[in-house]
Amino acid sequence: MKAELLVSTETLAEHLADPDWIVFDTRHDLAYPGKGREAWKAAHIPGAYFMHMDEDLSGAKTGTNGRHPLPEIADFAARMNRCGVAPGRQVVVCDDGGGSFAVRLWWMLRWLGHDRVAVLDGGFAAWKREGRPLDAAVPAPREGAFEPKPMLGATVDAHYVAAFRESPKVRIVDARAATRFMGENETLDPVAGHIPGSLNRFWQHNLGYDGRFLPPEELHAEFIELLGDADPALVVHSCGSGVTACHNLFAMELAGLPGSRLYPGSWSEWCTDPARPVATGAK
């Protein structure tokens, strides 16, 4: 296990009183957007700040930029600074959905230059199951020194995807469940299907039965089977709205396959333009 990417519940428990450790809770429910905040108010890891997927980790929607467009960098940086994020401080992110939302914040911080950020392996569910301390107090604001420095090339847009989706060197990996990828059981977006030429790896396949990430060597073997000899730097991650796509990106990093990129708009952006092609079925 790579300590810089994953933190165990045991390690976090040892650092709860460490002022150089900051915890973020990103619990969320796409069908009930207020559920995560309500759950956090009821009980959370002591000192954990709450970040809402729609309000804090996404920006304004235009109708053509997807369901969870990236927020304005200055706005996001201000939120991080109110919570004490600063160079040298360890950030830990968690949710109660296998990391499916926490990875968005993990990716955003890494994208903007803060490398000391890790996902809590097993998340809030493991923390609670193990009987570790919980709190309902709202943590006080802290002074941070986070200065965002966007990593060039970390994202691609719809124009890039349109231009390179048929390239034999580029791989587009879709993190949605197989049924949605195939164009079945679509309940979130107005058009069903996937970007032609993309591959499907459901993000939950990165987890074991206990909700923790699979061992790096197992993830490595599975991604190599999916991607062949593709250069990780030419792998683009997509999903419904650029959130669970980060789960596959994180898993590749954990597997020792760093450098893949995110298509933030993902399917919810792609499908808004009727001129863009749509595929259904397994391929």
Q: Please list the active-site residues.
A: 239
Strand 6-7 to strand 235-238: parallel, antiparallel, or no bridges (unpaired)?
Answer: unpaired
The candidate with the shortest Cα–Cα distance to 251, out of 12, 57, 66, 1, is 1
d(CA 73, CA 59): 9
Q: What is the DSSP letter of 238?
A: E
Per-residue exposure over 93-123, b if at least 16 CB sit within 10 Å of its own CB, e if not:
bbbbbbbbbbbbbbbbbbbbebebbbbbbbb
Kindly report the three-state secondary structure assignment for every residue of 26-78. CCCCCCCCCHHHHHHHHCECCCCEECCCCCCCCCCCCCCCCCCCCCCHHHHHH
The H or E element spanning position 136 is: none
The tokens describing 269, both together, are 């952006």
Instruction: Assess contact for 267 and 232: CB atoms under 8 A.
Output: no
Residues in the chain: 283
The candidate with the shortest Cα–Cα distance to 101, out of 219, 252, 1, 242, is 242
